[in-house]
Each structure stands twice: as C-alpha cells, then as structure tokens.
Structure 1
C-alpha cells in the first residue's frame, strides 16, 4: 500500500485547521491521527481529507474512503456536510487545512533543509543524496516526485523531529512557482542541477527557465549555500543571483573551473571509469551506469558530502551502488536462446536535454555482448513553438550515432521519419496503440533496446509488453 499520501499529525495540529462545524459523533481527543489525501490509501481509523484537484475532487470519493475504514473526513462542501450521514468535519478550504497541519509540524523541525531544482535530474539527485545521507543520519526525502505545492505541503507534514536532514524537490510548469515553493521551505542549501528546455513551451525561452530556476534562492537566508552547474550557458546569471543575496556558491560540472569536476571518463567492458576532482583532491570510481547525464548527478551529491565533512571515498562507493528509480535509465537483462538482450527503460519522461544525452549515451554504450543497438523513442512534449527545432535536432543527432535501428512513436516524430538515415530507419507508429506485437521489432540475442519518450506518449506500457515477451521467450 502506498503511504506517501498519509501523514501523522497531533491533536494540536488538527485543532489548528479552523473547524467550522463537525458531526456530533466525532470526538477529536486522541493524541495522534493519521490523515490521508488519497481514498485508496485509507487504513482503518484514518481521517480522509477531500482535496479539489485539477482533474478530480476528493469529495467524490467519500464513500470509498469510509468503505476502506476512514473514521472521519474533512470536507469543505457545506451541502454535503448537511445532507450526509458520514462523520464529517467542515472547514472553509481543505487545502488550507492541510497546509496548516504541515506548517504546525514544520515549525518545530530543526533538520538541515536541502532543496533541489533543475530541468533534469532532480529526482535522481534527490534519491542519490538520500541514500548517502541516510547512511550517516536519519534523513527525510520527499517521496516520488513530490515537487509541486501539494507535494511540498505533504512533505512538510511527514518530516520527523528525528530527521537530521530533509531533502525537497522543487519543480515548475509556469513562472513564479519555484520562488513560492522555496519560501515554503526556506532551504539552508539549494542545488540547481542544470538548465534545459523542459517546459520551454510555457516559459518562452531557456533564459526564462534559468531565471525561474534561480528563484530557488528567494527562500534562502544570506548564510545559505547554493550549488550551481558551471557548464550551463546561464551560469553567470545563476551566480549573480547568488551573489546578490551574499550566498556561498559551490560549482560543479566538467569545466576545469568547477569546484567539483568530472575530470576524466573512460568506458570499457560494461563499466565506466570516472575521475573526480573535488576542490583539487582526486577521487576515482567505477560505475555500471553508462548514462553520463545521470553520472553528472553524482557531482552535487559529492558537494553536499563535502560541506558536511563526510569521507568522499566512502560516499563514492555508496553512490555507484545506488539504484535509480524505475523508468529512469533502468537496465534489465534477459537471456534468450541466441544470447542476452538488454532493455533500457527510460520512459519516465523526455525533455530535449535528457533525450539528447540519453541518445549519446546509447551511441557510446560499450558492452562486449551487444551486437545491435535499437531505439524506440516517442515525441517530446510541452515544447510549444520549439517543437520542430528540437525534434529535428534529435533526428540529426541520431543519424550521427552508431545506433542501428530506429523506431519512432508519436505524431510529431512520425512526420519526421523521412529524415532518418535509410540504414537506420525501421518503422514509425502514430501511437503506442498502433504497435500490434513485440515481434514487429525482430528482437534477437545481442540486442540493446532503448525506450524513451514523453510520459503521456505511454511508452511505459510498451516496456511492460517487452518485459512480458522477453521473460517468456
């Protein structure tokens, strides 16, 4: 059962929500309560809080919540309160009520607060950082990709007083979101992983994206520390924002000017050798991860470990052993009669930055057992007027790699399929529904199959079809 939408709260925090009315058979006198925003996650005696979202309204799921064992529900619909026989608590606004519960919990938290934003790599960096810091001290990290306002509110309510470190992920779709979220957290340390093209259709330019990402600084005090990507074309913009607030900045990247640098990368026999330079000191590691954009996420983690004076050799050993989340360059191996097949699931999402880096990494992938490289990629979404440019750039990049077979899925890439080199092009599909059988891809031993696309394209379903097919072959 997914407990990410359940929070534990005290009697005092529950009493802070400005109750308008409540049914006479509800007695709020326990020491602690569990509250859930998801009726599917309700456990016996939980209190369900009915939130209104963009696509659904929790008030429509009261019956399910009580069927699953809820003892009461917090709602804001007066008519439902008056007409229902359920044990209900009426408030003016359920979201404000949840925010008050989170604030009540958060005001006593003494954890070092670390906030992460960036166009790609936020969740992976967060997961790596949690794995490392948890090795030393109790550490909270926002579950899943809880990087919007609701996710931050839930995270603030879930942190324990025992947690020495609290890691937040901050995302955005529109202007001014990150500044507001940063002010909800007031981070002690901030990380900007990179500046890419994700959501460029909403913000209009990469410079506007950089400005938005830099606003993670807005919630910080002047004694904070910010880690900045030195390879970014907008590094100066980011650094000036940090200097204007008198923040200490630590830089990371491939540039020799970086405080934390990847100074050397060598591939061979399914491993990647990486040499790091951290404030002049050399550290080395071997990693199974062959996606360089994911390896780049090691850098800010090393930066945090350096700030906290942890042994960086020990930290590196733990980073390279850490697993990435499902569908983020997740490598799966299958044994067929004629050899091994490697399936790489990178279907979580696709921005131009992450897509281009992934295609380069597939092209450079080295493993003595791989005889043929196959990519199945879907449209990149939310690019607005830049849609044609970035998809055309993607096709041009593919043509320059040693990738053998190319399959496209999606309306836009299908329209550009004619641009693919004749030696590489295989088939294109307008949607996942047009793929009738895995056998269309003519898989054989020695194949590397890479799958990636915008989340809404649905290629994650195709990955599951591949897994089912290969497991039975």
Structure 2
C-alpha cells in the first residue's frame, strides 16, 4: 500500500474493531495497511476501498456475495460470527488468495454497521447534526431544509431515502472533515427503529413533521407512532432544538420531556413568533409568503408542503440563519424526484398535459391532502386521477382506502383510475358516493397495464391535468414513462 494511505481510511483498524466489538482476521501485512474509504451493504455498489457489510434478510444472505465484493475491490468485510465459525477454512482461503482484504468477525452485521457509524460520527464533534422524521413529508422537508442550510453551511445530507436502520448508518459515513452540518432523514418500518438510528446520529436539532397513519399496520396506533417518532428528540441537549407541529393533536405529548428548546411551527403560529406571513396560494405554482418581510415562493404546490417549509424556517431561525439565507434557499429549491413534481409534458398521442407526479410514497394523510389540493386547483382542462394502493395499513386498510374513495367524490375529477387490490375499496366507496367515471385495475401486470395505457391515451386531451400518486411499490411511474414522450 502507498505511503500515507492509512490516513485516508475513514477509521483505523483499532477504531473500527473496538466500535463493533469484533475480532480482526487478516494476514499480518493487512494490519499495517488497513484502510477503507466507503461503506456499502450491496455488493453491486462495491468500489475499490469499500467496507462491505453483508446483511442477512428474510430472503437473502449477503455473505454469499463476499467473493464478488472482493473481486470489485472491497478491502474490509464484516462476517457474522456463527457463519465464520462454520466456514472458517473457506474464509481463511479467501484471505490467502486476496492479500488486500481484512475480515472483522462480529455478532450481528446490522448492529455492527450501526455501532461503526455511531463511532464514526463521534469523530466530528463540531458537526451541527440535524434530523427529520414524521409520518409524511420527511423527504420534502429534508430537501427544503437542505436547500436552506446550504446557504450557510458546507452540508452533507441524506441522499434519496437512505433513512432506515441501514440507510442512516450508510448516510453518516458520507461525512467528511470539511462538512459543517449534517442533515439526515429518519424513517421507520418497525418498533424502535427511530430509537436505534437516533442513537447512531445523536442529533441536537430535529424536526417532527406530523403524526399520521403511515405504518399504522405495523405499530398498531397513532399513539405508538408518536411514541416512536418522539425518540428522535432523545439526544437533544439543553442547547439543542426540537421543532414540533403546533396543530398536531400529539404536539403536547411530543414536547413533553424534551431537554432542549421547543419551537412550534404551523399556520396558526403568530407572525411575530415565526416571522412568516402567508401571502397567496398560487395553485400549481406553489405558495407565496414572506420571511421577516422578504417575499419568496415555495415552488412545490400544496398546503401540506407549505407546512413542511414552515418547519424548516423555524429550525433555520433557531440556527441563527437570516431571512435572506432562508428565502434564497427556498427560491433555489427543486421538487424531489417523484414527489409533487409538476411539469408540462408531451403525450405520445400528440397531446400536451400538466402532470403532477407523486409516485414515491403514499399514506392516508398525504393522499387525502394531495386530493384536496387537486380539488382546489384551477386548471384549464379536465382533472384525471390515477391512485395506487397505500401499503402497511394492516387492519385499517379497508377503512382508509374507502376514505380515499370518499375524498375523490368530493374532489370531483372528470376521471379516476384506481390501481391495486386495496384501491378496490376506494373504487367501491367512490361508486357508492356517485362517482361514475372511473376505472379499476387490480394490478399493473402486462394485460392490465396495456389496457390502462391504451384507455388513457384515448381519453387524454390537450390541457388536461393528470395527478398520479401511490406507494412506491405500485410502480405507477411506469404509466408516466409509457404515455409521455421522452425528453431528448
């Protein structure tokens, strides 16, 4: 290894092994030349110098991809203790054949990844650590906050939706010495996931966007969701800030026991406290408002997205950012890919329409809010909705999908296409409510997909407004790609 390579490693062998309570297994020369410059859990993403963490899931065991990871340049690999003990000769052979590789044997690869990430974050004691969670609006809030924070700080932020028990640790390994602030999104799919990843980052500034019904099928109740989301405030110290939605019915509960300063955000927070004055809802063009007298426009439409911006403004002010920095950040914001993305598009049938694409995620709260927004929009042409299943609602799925059907009746679009087994409940509720112009497809398998696309292309006219929303696993974006002309 070249001289000076050791200093490039994200952690030393001693730091990493100590953090994960692991056993270092390597040829003698690798102890001296130990180095890794990135961390991955997917062998396809391995590059030269990666630490590869092979996770064990319900259907896959990442250990079987260790040879491929080594071939692609992995220099350090976690191996689960019981797997190593059962196959020690195999792993020693891999070491003898690949002199640039070190194994660290650990009890549990997932927890080792989290422990390593927690130790890595400690190497940056001056980093301003900001976290965002909530039942809906997390990624939009993170994107707004990111655009604002970049006006003051050299920022590292969560990319995409790397916000889970594995995504958050991988995200923090992107921190480098030049970064002044880290902004990280925290999601959950099970009990105590927020607790675990908050322990990794230990944020001193945090936003909870809302307490809704996303994942209620897993956690059982909004009370349990609130209890889980609140864990993001666990490590906030006296000089830190917790940003809480004032109009949420769990606001008081979320504020209880917080050691740092509590800042409430919302449309009913007085201007003298927030510094924000609402000016006008611009429909598809977004929301116009001012911060301490400086006007700006949030280009993402919808009152729920405006609420996300209010949360970001509250936190930015708590960090000492001025109105110009805040409004400049909002002006520079672009809608996250697949989330409330509005554009004028050419359809393959020669028509031109306005498209509101929100295919990245869906839960009852965000779906109802988006439908209400679309209902109030003033557009030249007809309104067409394509709505897909909302996942992880458990025993409440029938009721909550039925409510979406009732929401559509109130919105009165000219055409609604419901997609998915659960959305059949919405279609039935809409039919009972008097919505006649609708189509239902159980899934997007080939025959259904082709029928849906052909029907849509026959129906669409120039000037129409098309709104598409559903859980990411429904892959509604396939419809958009099929009907729209690709930009050159």
Name the TM-score, length of structure 1 as normaliser. Answer: 0.87
Segments of 5+ residues of structure 1 without an aligned counterpart are 1-6
User: Pairwise CA RMSD of aligned residues?
Assistant: 2.7
Contact 1:148 1:170 (C-alpha < 8 Å) held by counterparts: yes
Alignment correspondent of 1:48 = 52
Contact 2:151 2:325 (C-alpha < 8 Å) held by counterparts: no
Tell me whether 107-116 or 285-294 shows the greater mean CA deviation.
285-294
1:142 to 158, 172, 186: 158
Within 2, Cα distance between the matches of 1:213 and 1:268?
A: 32
Alignment correspondent of 2:262 = 249
Secondary structure at the counterpart of residue 9 of structure 1: coil
Distance 1:257 1:424, change over 3 A: farther
Alignment correspondent of 1:117 = 133
1:453 paired with 2:465, answer no
Distance 1:253 1:144, change over 3 A: same
1:201 paired with 2:201, answer no
Residue 41 (structure 1) shift: 1.2
Residue 145 (structure 1) shift: 1.8
Instruction: Report how many residues are paired.
Output: 456
1:10 paired with 2:11, answer yes
1:425 paired with 2:437, answer yes
Instruction: Note the alpha carbon deviations across 1:238-266, whole angstroms, 9 max, x for none.
Output: 23x1xx34431111111145743765353
Alignment correspondent of 1:286 = 297
Secondary structure at the counterpart of residue 171 of structure 2: helix
Residue 164 (structure 1) shift: 1.2
Instruction: Note the alpha carbon deviations across 1:352-402, whole angstroms, 9 max, x for none.
Output: 1110111112222234xx301100101222222222222222111111114
1:103 to 110, 113, 118: 118
Contact 2:354 2:465 (C-alpha < 8 Å) held by counterparts: yes
Segments of 5+ residues of structure 2 without an aligned counterpart are 1-7, 96-101
Within 1, Cα distance between the matches of 2:275 and 2:382?
A: 33
Matched ranges for 1:167-206 at <5 A:
167-206=183-222
Distance 1:195 1:302, change over 3 A: same
Within 2, Cα distance between the matches of 1:205 and 1:235?
A: 16
Higher strand share: 1
Within 2, Cα distance between the matches of 1:417 and 1:261?
A: 43
Contact 1:350 1:454 (C-alpha < 8 Å) held by counterparts: yes
Alignment correspondent of 2:66 = 62
Secondary structure at the counterpart of residue 106 of structure 2: coil
1:378 paired with 2:388, answer yes
Within 2, Cα distance between the matches of 1:457 and 1:269?
A: 27
Residue 351 (structure 1) shift: 0.6
Within 1, Cα distance between the matches of 2:244 and 2:258?
A: 14
Alignment correspondent of 1:222 = 238
Contact 1:376 1:408 (C-alpha < 8 Å) held by counterparts: yes
Matched ranges for 1:336-355 at <5 A:
339-355=351-367
Within 1, Cα distance between the matches of 2:194 and 2:77?
A: 31
Residue 269 (structure 1) shift: 7.7
Distance 1:397 1:25, change over 3 A: same
Contact 1:37 1:51 (C-alpha < 8 Å) held by counterparts: yes
1:33 paired with 2:45, answer no
1:439 paired with 2:454, answer yes
Within 2, Cα distance between the matches of 1:11 and 1:246?
A: 34
Distance 1:226 1:429, change over 3 A: same
Matched ranges for 1:320-359 at <5 A:
320-335=331-346, 339-359=351-371
Contact 1:254 1:263 (C-alpha < 8 Å) held by counterparts: no
Distance 1:184 1:351, change over 3 A: same
